[in-house]
């Protein structure tokens, strides 16, 4: 009798739950289809429990502020302007931007399964899933300000843009393309099924107007945004995206450089930043088998990573953090420690105590040094946030002095054998601009970028880069199956791979075998691994086949980090190992996005800024939906081949020998590929010329 009652209660509960879910789904559909609501939603209080973007600097003149308001109000029916104008003016005053907080939706934003999004086009639904993931509270750095990572990596500039975009995506067909200008959905334009469903441009400005303050001004006006790399292209997959790259970097840095006093145990790695991307460092350190200390000034960021299991413990005292690290080294056990404080204090303490540090780097957001990307030593986190808004010039002074101190301490440790590398955050660039002792007589940096030493010659020049995919069923079982398929494909390729790329393949086979165990998923059911054109194409084709026979239960989105072989022209990062003088050109990234768009990408993006800063880089990416169809198979083969070989061809033309090897091999594999090869001048001939 009791069992029967319990069973009935359970069935009732299940029915109520199903009913609740249906109601929630219907409300979600209605909200998406409504776009910007006809009636004003209730005003939402500023939630202090959320990690908010810092107040941006007050850069607009009174006339420009009026322009910003006119710009914001154009999204709304004039009957609401009376109410919204003062509200938006207050936001501009308080936060330096108009985010339109009132319009933040009530439903939770996350990577629901593809079928949960209202749609007429599967491709558009996949894009909704991906952009929702970028704004998920568990994933995004400042979700209420629509910032995914890097302090200013925006998906949209305001909530009206989000609402309109979702509405367009829900209504569009495969005969239309949505044009997006820095978060603003310009509209749906007629196109065709093979065309991208969405074309994204972020921060594209006339080159002479690409200084950091130009971004501040344009963004405050609501006419441009900093899309970072994968934030503005909806391809961010949480810190997993960078765990893999960081693991490869730390692993190879360790393989490559030995501290003179190295005595066998796990190496000691010191760095900073537990934010969006930098938060991957401690986990990558553990996977690479080192002991790491990562400094972080923002307690919210540190505790978020700790709760998510990305860092083993948090310590508030620099001496204690160092003692603990030494103890873990003695125990011969990889371990990750977060030091809650300023990294400059940590570096100075390490130098003062003459600790044997094997490897060092930094992943504070120095691409954005004046607006919350870098917190100077000597000020608390809160004090710094106030000063950067109230006295930006004085704040800049603090940042410069802090960088000088940081470099001095690092120099003392490298003199004692530490290997230091720039980790793609403009650390060397901004330190040199700050007047730190970081350049030699020839005007070159004293330290390499990780791309010059590691990522360029070992990966990008051979075509290996951060390929990724997302299972749109949002089911872990599908992800597990894709892991298995990808692993089998790589193992097969490794059997006949030339020795030049065997290490890369083996590192990635190891990675994918361990991926489940390392619990890397935050948000969407996503996976990343480094693969070349052959690997990416074969893995994608195998997924498509598995979807067509129903083995994988729903379509899969393919993509990659913009930080890749071909997608990014960035002289201080991705193309820092281009030495033929073309590092400051951006033809490769532009060619790439154009080429991807007519070879079958589901969406494409091209950005100014990303990684090292506004005006310092042009980067692009793509997303591609595999739905198990023959069309998807045709598109993936055409597009992935170009998406990798474009960059190898350019790297080969720059006389990078690894790339010459890779492009010759690609031409043997695909006779329709014909690439201009460089001749190498006799060095003696050049050196003996009297110039
Ligand atoms: N190498 C790569 O592949 C790669 C990839 C992505 C991002 N990046 C770059 O790395 C940087 C970090 O990216 P992110 O997404 O983690 O940014 P983020 O802003 O989310 O995180 C940076 C963190 O550094 C902390 N911080 C700033 N100054 C500090 C200081 N002096 N001491 C201690 N902590 C400090 C901040 O509080 C913040 O949490 C960016 O410049 C980004 O462009 C590099």
Residue from 348, 366, 385 nearest 425 by CA: 366
Q: Ligand 1 center to residue 614 CA distance, Å?
A: 15
Atom of ligand 1 at shortest distance to CA of 364? 24
Q: How far apart are CA 168 and CA 125, in angstroms?
A: 11
Which tens digits make up the pLDDT trace of 529-574?
Answer: 999 999 999 999 999 999 999 999 999 999 999 999 999 999 989 9
Tell me, what DSSP letter sits at residue 663? Answer: H
With CA atoms as reference, report the closest residue to 612 among 394, 373, 366.
366
Task: Calculate mean pLDDT across residues 356-374.
Answer: 94
Query: Alpha-carbon distance 449 to 423, whole Å?
Result: 6
Q: pLDDT: is 239 or 649 the higher one?
A: 649
Binding pocket residue ranges, ligand 1, CB within 6 Å: 141, 149-151, 242, 245, 272-278, 295-298, 301, 342-343, 363-367, 373-375, 423-425, 563, 611
Instruction: Tell me the best of 150, 212, 406, 621 to mutate to test the pocket of ligand 1, counting ligand atoms within 8 Å of each CB and taking the most.
Output: 150
pLDDT above 80: residue 14: no
CA gap 531, 490 in Å, rounded: 9
Sign for the CA dihedral angle at 153, 223, 196, 532 comes to negative
In the prediction, which pLDDT does 17 show?
64
DSSP 422: B
Say what the pLDDT of residue 7 is: 59
Predicted pLDDT of residue 277: 83
427 versus 252: which is more confidently predicted? 427
Quick: pLDDT tens for 91-117: 999 999 999 999 999 999 999 999 999
Which tokens is 6 given?
């319990």
Contact 249, 145 (CB under 8 A): no
Least confident of 16-25, 404-413, 671-680: 16-25
Q: How far apart are CA 242 and CA 530, in angstroms?
A: 11
Q: Which is nearest to 126 in space by CA: 639, 632, 642? A: 632
Helices (H), 554-618: 587-597
Q: Using one digit for the tens of pLDDT, what is the confidence trace for 195-240?
A: 999 999 999 999 999 999 999 999 999 999 999 999 999 999 987 8
Q: Which of 2-16, 56-70, 303-317, 634-648 shows the lowest per-residue confidence on average (mean pLDDT)?
A: 2-16
User: Band of the pLDDT at 265, cuts 50, 70, 90?
Assistant: confident
Cα dihedral across residues 325, 330, 334, 335: positive or negative:
negative
Whether the pLDDT of residue 249 is over 70: the answer is yes
Put the strands of the sheet holding 359-360 in their side by side order.
313-315, 335-340, 291-296, 268-272, 359-360, 419-420
Which of 275-279, 331-335, 402-406 shows the lowest mean pLDDT across its residues? 275-279
Ligand 1 centre to CA of 151 (Å) is 8
> In angstroms, rounded to a whole number, what is the distance separating the alpha carbons of residues 315 and 422?
25
Place of tokens 């749109």: 472
Report the separation in Å between the CA atom of 154 and the middle of ligand 1, taken as the mean of its atom positions.
15
- Return the ligand 1 atom nearest residue 573 CA: 1
Alpha helices in 222-331 (DSSP H): 240-256, 281-288, 299-307, 318-330
304 Cα: distance to centroid of ligand 1 (angstroms): 15
Phi then psi for residue 153, to 5 deg, are: -75, 95
Rounded to 5 degrees, φ, ψ at 472 are -80, -5
Distance (Å) from CA 273 to ligand 1 centroid: 5
DSSP labels for 32-70? HHH-S-SSPPPPPPP-TTS-PPPPPP----HHHHHHHHH
Tokens encoding 640: 């992935």
> Which residue lies with its CA nearest to atom 39 of ligand 1?
275
Neighbour count for residue 618 (Cβ, 10 Å): 25
Ligand 1: which residue has its CA nearest to atom 34? 296
Alpha helix (H) ranges present in 197-239? 212-221
Dist CA 425 CA 431 (whole Å): 11
Q: Checking DSSP bridges between strand 335-340 and strand 313-315, what pairing results, if any?
A: parallel
Give 13: exposed, middle or buried? Use CB within 10 Å, 0-12, 13-18, 19+: exposed
Which residue puts its alpha carbon closest to atom 17 of ligand 1?
150
Model confidence, pTM: 0.88
pLDDT tens figures, 583-597? 999 999 999 999 999
Centre of ligand 1 from the C-alpha of residue 580, in Å: 30
pLDDT in tens, 482-515: 999 999 999 999 999 999 999 999 999 999 998 9
Given a cut of 80, is residue 681 above it in pLDDT? yes
Percent of the chain with pLDDT over 90: 87
How far apart are the CA of 661 and the centre of ligand 1, in A? 35
pLDDT score for 6: 54
> In sequence order, what are the residues at sequence separation of 6 or more whose Cβ sits closer than 8 angstroms to the Cβ of residue 186?
179, 180
Instruction: Please compute the mean of the pLDDT values over residues 387-397 and round it to a whole number.
Output: 95
Across 6-15, 258-267, 307-316, the highest mean pLDDT is recorded for 307-316
**Which residue's C-alpha comes closest to atom 11 of ligand 1?**
365
């Amino acid at each position: 009798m009791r069992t029967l009652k319990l069973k009935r209660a359970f069935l009732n509960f299940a029915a109520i739950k199903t009913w609740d879910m249906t109601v929630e789904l219907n409300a979600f559909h209605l909200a998406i289809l409504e776009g910007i609501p006809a009636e004003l939603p209730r005003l939402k209080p500023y939630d202090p429990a959320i990690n908010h973007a810092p107040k941006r600097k007050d850069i607009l003149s009174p006339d420009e502020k009026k322009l910003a308001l006119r710009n914001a109000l154009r999204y709304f029916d004039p009957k609401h302007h009376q109410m919204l104008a003062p509200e938006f003016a207050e936001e501009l005053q308080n936060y330096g931007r108009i985010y339109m907080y009132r319009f933040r939706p009530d439903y939770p934003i996350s990577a629901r399964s593809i079928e949960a999004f209202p749609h007429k086009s599967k491709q558009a639904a996949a894009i909704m899933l991906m952009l929702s993931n970028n704004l998920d509270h568990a994933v995004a750095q400042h979700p209420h300000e629509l910032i995914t990572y890097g302090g200013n990596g925006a998906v949209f500039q305001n909530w009206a843009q989000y609402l309109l975009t979702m509405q367009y995506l829900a209504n569009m067909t495969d005969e239309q393309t949505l044009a997006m200008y820095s978060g603003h959905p310009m509209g749906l334009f007629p196109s065709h099924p093979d065309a991208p469903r969405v074309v994204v441009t972020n921060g594209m400005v006339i080159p002479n107007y690409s200084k950091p303050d130009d971004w501040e001004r344009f963004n405050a006006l609501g006419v441009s945004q900093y899309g970072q790399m994968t934030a503005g292209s909806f391809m961010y997959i949480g810190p997993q995206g960078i765990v893999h790259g960081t693991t490869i970097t730390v692993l190879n840095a360790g393989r490559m450089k030995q501290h003179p006093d190295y005595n066998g145990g796990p190496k000691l790695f010191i760095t900073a930043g537990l934010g969006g991307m930098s938060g991957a460092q401690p986990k990558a350190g553990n996977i690479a088998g080192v002991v790491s200390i990562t400094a972080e000034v923002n307690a919210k960021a540190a505790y978020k990573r700790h709760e998510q299991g990305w860092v083993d413990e948090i310590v508030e005292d620099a001496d204690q953090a160092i003692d603990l690290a030494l103890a873990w080294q003695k125990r011969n056990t990889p371990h990750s420690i977060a030091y809650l404080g300023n990294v400059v204090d940590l570096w100075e303490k390490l130098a003062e105590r003459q600790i044997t540090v094997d490897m060092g780097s930094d992943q504070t957001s120095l691409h954005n040094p004046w607006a919350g990307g870098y917190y100077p030593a000597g000020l608390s986190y809160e004090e710094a946030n106030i000063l950067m808004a109230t006295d930006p010039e004085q704040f800049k002074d603090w940042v410069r002095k802090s960088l000088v101190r940081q470099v001095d301490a690092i120099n003392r440790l490298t003199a004692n054998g530490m290997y230091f590398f720039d980790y793609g955050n403009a650390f060397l660039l901004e330190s040199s601009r700050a007047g730190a002792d970081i350049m030699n007589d020839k005007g070159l940096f004293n330290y390499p970028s990780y791309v010059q030493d590691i990522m360029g010659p070992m990966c990008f020049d051979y075509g290996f880069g951060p390929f990724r995919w997302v299972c749109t069923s949002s089911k872990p079982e599908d992800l597990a199956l894709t892991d298995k398929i990808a692993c089998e494909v790589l193992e097969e390729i490794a059997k006949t791979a030339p020795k030049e790329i065997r290490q890369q393949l083996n590192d990635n086979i190891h990675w994918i075998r361990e991926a489940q165990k390392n619990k890397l998923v935050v948000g969407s059911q996503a996976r990343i691994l480094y693969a070349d054109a052959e690997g990416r194409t074969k893995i994608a084709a195998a997924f498509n086949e598995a979807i067509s026979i129903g083995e994988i239960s729903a379509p899969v989105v393919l993509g990659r980090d913009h930080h890749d072989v071909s997608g990014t022209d960035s002289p201080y990062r991705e193309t820092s190992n281009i030495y033929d003088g073309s590092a400051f050109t951006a033809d490769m990234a532009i060619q790439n996005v154009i080429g991807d768009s007519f070879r079958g990408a589901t969406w494409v993006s091209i950005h100014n800024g990303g990684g090292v800063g506004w005006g310092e880089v042009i980067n692009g990416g793509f997303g591609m939906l595999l739905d198990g169809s023959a069309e998807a198979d045709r598109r993936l083969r055409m597009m992935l081949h170009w998406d990798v070989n474009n960059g190898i061809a350019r790297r080969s033309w720059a006389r990078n020998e690894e790339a010459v090897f890779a492009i010759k091999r690609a031409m043997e594999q695909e006779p329709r590929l014909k690439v201009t090869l460089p001749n190498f001048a006799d060095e003696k001939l050049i050196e003996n010329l009297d110039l």
